[in-house]
Amino acid sequence: MPRISKKGASMPESPIRKLVPFAEKAKQLGKKVYHLNIGQPDIKTPEVAIQAVHDFKDKVVEYSHSAGFESYRKGLSQYYQKLDINVSHENIIVTTGGSEALLFTLNACLDADDEIIIPEPFYANYNGFSISSGVVVKPIKTSIKDGFALPSINDFEKLITDKTKAILICNPGNPTGYMYSKDELNRLRDLVIKYDLFLFADEVYREFAYDGKEHYSILNIDGLEQHSVVIDSTSKRYSMCGIRVGCVVSKNKNILSTILKFAQARLSPPTFGQIAGEAALNTPVKYFTEVRQEYLSRRDLLIDGLNKIDGVFCPKPSGAFYAIAELPVDCANKFAQWLLEDFDLNGETIMVAPAAGFYASKNTGLNQVRIAYVLNQESLQRSIDILSYALKLYPGRLEK
């Protein structure tokens, strides 16, 4: 029998989705499962986006330009300009979700066996994207004790070799919810300039910043014009994950012309996705005001509730809609499976994402879980109650 590739064999399972069979079986047995494991918001997609798809009247669904419809790219440039990010439509390439944006960026900027430094824990698919691109991830550890703040520049410098080509951050972060300050971004700027590196920033959650904190884009940091690439997406901003439209934004023309070649090879981004994405640019400001307030209320309910449970510690996120919680358990993977297979509270249980899958370093985050606060407040409160009760019964609970 022919063997699959080493690349394929080394692709990691999704820590978010690998427990799905256990959740499906739990539901077949009649249990209600509260999904805290995946960042699928229950917030309504803006009506203007859905209506634009309904209003499509063309007789043929055609390819777009490989870089995306010009009208959409011009609309995106106006969106960024309102955020004081001075880019034109020529600085933007539309992609099939933020995932393709990052894949194109890695392939355009790094060769096989080049290294990229990523603060961990990080979005689990960064591992998969890097493997697909032949890129080697060099994780740099952050600490739950300080809320996953940027590690010291000295720690970064210890990892830099002649193979190092880039640093990747997610801001605000998935899975931590941490948001980098302007000072932290300036420190990264000095580092990438010193070593002539690229700085990639996944900024898909920029609208979700809390407690009066302001999101800073790396596109606004002086001196990074030729070093920076922003990964963006409509998925979470407009709660339309299935549209599968994102983009790459950069002021480096060489990067963009290279990415365009990869974009041409896949022909074009999805037409209906772009129609919805362009229409979504007209979403009323009120929509984001209300959504931010809802997420803020959910965050406070969740974090306060988690930290009241004996043995649980969870720092308060500054953005996005995720949190990493440390639990008094022997193994979060076992605990997550036990919740689905062997436990329920009055016919209900919860599904969480074991955090070890968000680390590249082995044997790290073994007693941590990622929780997405994308459920309504009543469901979140019920989930907290279920978790509290479950931890009292779990056979692998660790006592202080």
**How do strand 198-202 and strand 228-233 relate by DSSP bridges?**
parallel
Task: Give the alpha-carbon dihedral of 197, 200, 201, 204, to 10 degrees.
Answer: 170
**Alpha carbon of 388 to those of 94, 353, 383, 385: distances in Å?**
44, 17, 9, 5
pLDDT in the model for residue 400: 63
Mind listing the domains of the chain with CATH numbers?
A: 6-44+286-393 (3.90.1150.10), 47-280 (3.40.640.10)
pLDDT in the model for residue 56: 96
Mapped onto helix, strand or coil, the DSSP state of residue 116 is strand
Kindly report, residue by residue over 210-245, the tens digit of the pLDDT.
Answer: 999 999 999 999 999 999 999 999 999 999 999 999
28: part of which helix (H) or strand (E)? helix 20-28
pLDDT in the model for residue 283: 97
pLDDT in the model for residue 275: 98
Low-confidence ranges of the chain (pLDDT < 50): none
**How do strand 164-170 and strand 136-141 relate by DSSP bridges?**
unpaired
What's this model's pTM, rounded to 2 decimal places? Answer: 0.95
